[in-house]
Amino acid sequence: MAASIERGDIHRLHAIARQVREENTEAVRDVIVEKIYQHSQTIADEVTSRTNQNKVNQDDRLDAILTSRYLGFPIMLVLLGIVFWITIAGANVPSSLLADGFGWLEGKLTAVFMWVGAPAWLHGVLVLGLYRGVSWVISVMLPPMAIFFPLFALLEDAGYLPRVAFNLDRLFRKAGGHGKQSLTMAMGFGCNAAGIISCRIIESPRERMIAILTNNFVPCNGRWPTLILLSSLFMVGAVGMGASVTVAALIVVGMVLFGIAMTLFVSWALSKTLLRGVPSHFTLELPPYRPPQFGRTIVRSVYDKTLFVLKRAIITAAPAGVITWILANIMVGDKSVLTHVADWFAPFAHAIGLDGYILMAFLLGLPANEIVVPILIMGYMASGAMMELDDMGALKALFLDHGWTWLTALNMMLFSLLHYPCGTTIYTIAKETKSTKWTVLSVLMPLAIAIVVCFVVAQTVRYFGWV
Amino acid sequence: MSCMCIEKRTELLHHKFGIAALAGQKVVALAGNPNTGKSTVFNALTGLNQHTGNWPGKTVGNAQGTFTHKGQPFLLVDLPGTYSLLPNSADEQVARDFICFGQPDVTLVVVDATAMERNLNLALQVMEITDQVVLCVNLMDEAKRKGIEIDIEGLSKKLGIPVVATAARQKQGLEELRDCLLDVACGNITPVPFTLRYSQEVEQAISELEPKLTPLLKGTMKARWVALRLLDGDDTLLEDIERYMTEEALQDPSLSREREVSPSWPQA
């Protein structure tokens, strides 16, 4: 079998192929495919016998509820809501435990640096920059991912996720995308880099690209903390006291729905312009419901997805911590480099309802979204290192001192939701698309959208004098 | 197969598919629709002797594992779960290319016993490419629960290939499956897949093409199958023949040997 074919014969094959193409104008493929389908149906009928019709219908009955026109969406929102709720609520305790642990270790590290008489700058770069950067990322990202990914995998193992895709198929198809984009989008709620890798399940390159380019519009684990923190800090104060947790939660839900709307809108716009084409037929069959294999699913999702994504995040967070520390500690005149750059950004930032430090923080937070708020706090305090402020009141006072209003908070949330993907995600997009052009577009397009949305919101609010 | 040939195949597997087969190892390709318990069969056969990677140059994950049965070492290659082998997607192309050009000793097709009518498609398409096919009717336990019975022997006669019933989650039928793979890989059993006849026009065209193709292909693949692909306008096949089957291609290992290990993602 392992013989090879000569080049001359390849040319002859091409010649035959050309001839065949000229002679066959009809859709022979359809005839061939149909025959195969027909025949497998015939054989299946001949060798299969059914004794109990009722049992076959159990799955159908479940499907009638879970994919029904009226109940399908509410059930889906509730189930996904529960997954998010468990993720957010469950991540708090391990997150603060990790943060405490890292804090304790930092104390020990500092002691060691002092004991060996290391210079202050070395301690600054390695401990206050690199070590704190990495420990922020691990303590904020690891717990939610370790909860979210297994829960999601269990839903999939049980056979529910294909039903979600089935439900959302219509919306995404209207937007020119693929039904499975709902799955990749849902994966993006955990982590956009993971969401983009999951786009591999979409077969057609056109729809896969749409899914990759729009994955960024749903908030990932790195942005949940920003959204939740800002909504609870400011939006609540604007509405009035009381029922604050619920209001804050509703605002976050509103942000999520806005993100999904943006996903659909941009998918639609792309499919009408750069990625024109007819949505490919969605032939996802609904597999049977099965009791999930808990142990194996949890182990594999933690090992394959959580640790994989975490590793990439750490690789990008480490240098960011170092750079931030250096920028905040090199003085030019009487101000640090960080402050100079923030001042330079100020006029543009004001026009879109933000300030120079916020833009600076987003820029330096490129490696991982979870370090944006820490960098911002650091910039405001000019303390020279990322820090953790446990007291919410102190944090709000710090922001108000720097001229924040509810508009600043709202626009920072919008910007966080819409702006370019994080470094890890951009790296993943480049790996997955193998194209510089599309990778650049995946950064510039959301950035442009974020700027326009923030500009319109800021100008409108100011025009009507709401702040 | 002569020594030279085996060496060449090892090289081909390594360079084009990123698969390192040892001398004497029988290579088994594992194909199947998504949700047929294909991974369960894969895990049941190979246990912990497996590792995951990427198909070279493709954003499709792969998994390979080894096992030994009655002293015969096997290398099991898990292909992406696909509904067909028409190269509509990277997944399908990877599966087709490996079955066609990777020259596995056996291609094991896993089908869902509760959805035979949909699943047999793939088996029929594989049988057009190669004779070395074994069918595994999996999820027999689920079928039983749903009151579905399958005439395994009748199916085997109709298809002309060995058919084994399994419930891989319950580890049922696996020993028989290993025996069967061994028999086909070592030539104790020679499957004679039945040939699906198409409409008269198509058959006419095939019979005109076959004699022209046979001398060019030099027995590397079935002329009938190549004729069918030319007829259905599959442009990717000739490119792939050039990529995998020409002498230059075999000697040039440069073809995108990206070996980054990525996680395997849901096939949904």
DSSP-assigned letters across all residues of B105-163: SEEEEEEEGGGHHHHHHHHHHHHHH-S-EEEEEE-HHHHHHTTEEE-HHHHHHHHTS-E
User: Among residues B259, B262, B96, B190, which one has the least CA distance to residue A196?
Assistant: B262
Q: Please give the pLDDT value at position B174.
A: 94
d(CA B80, CA B60): 8
Is residue A2 within 8 angstroms of chain B, CB to CB? yes
Is residue A49 within 8 angstroms of chain B, CB to CB? yes
State the average pLDDT over residues B184-213. 90
Query: Could you tell me the pLDDT band of residue B258, with boundaries at 50, 70 and 90?
Result: very low
pLDDT tens figures, A136-188: 667 766 776 788 778 877 887 788 877 877 777 778 888 888 878 887 887 78
Weakest mean pLDDT among A248-262, A277-291, A351-365, B40-54: A277-291
| 3-class DSSP assignment, residue A329 | helix
Which CATH number fits the domain B6-186, given the four candidates 3.30.200.20, 3.40.50.300, 3.40.50.2000, 1.20.1630.10? 3.40.50.300
Interface of B with A in 188-247 (CB under 8 A): 196, 198-199, 202, 205, 209, 212-213, 216-220, 228, 230-235, 238, 241-242, 245-247
Angle between helices A406-418 and A356-364 (to 10 degrees): 30
- A197 contacts in chain B (CB < 8 Å): 262-263, 265
Q: Please give the pLDDT value at position B263.
A: 37
- Number of Cβ pairs closer than 8 Å across A and B? 198
- Decide: residue A330, CB within 10 A, 0-12 exposed, 13-18 middle, 19+ buried: exposed
B268 and A29 within 8 Å at the Cβ level: the answer is: no
d(CA B93, CA B84): 10
Q: Please give the pLDDT value at position A232.
A: 72
Query: Could you tell me the pLDDT band of residue A1, with boundaries at 50, 70 and 90?
Result: very low
What mean pLDDT, rounded, does chain B reach? 83
Alpha helices in A204-306 (DSSP H): 205-214, 224-230, 236-239, 244-272, 294-301
Distance (Å) from the alpha carbon of B189 to chain A's nearest alpha carbon: 18
Buried (b) or exposed (e) across A350-364, using 16+ Cβ within 10 A? eebbbbbbbbbbbeb
Distance (Å) from the alpha carbon of B83 to chain A's nearest alpha carbon: 9
| CB contact set of A415 (below 8 Å; sequence gap of 6+) | A352, A354, A358, A362, A450, A454
pLDDT tens figures, A180-230: 888 788 778 777 888 898 888 787 788 899 999 999 999 887 787 788 778
- A153 contacts in chain B (CB < 8 Å): 266
Token pair of B253, please? 């290992």
Is residue B138 within 8 angstroms of chain A, CB to CB? no
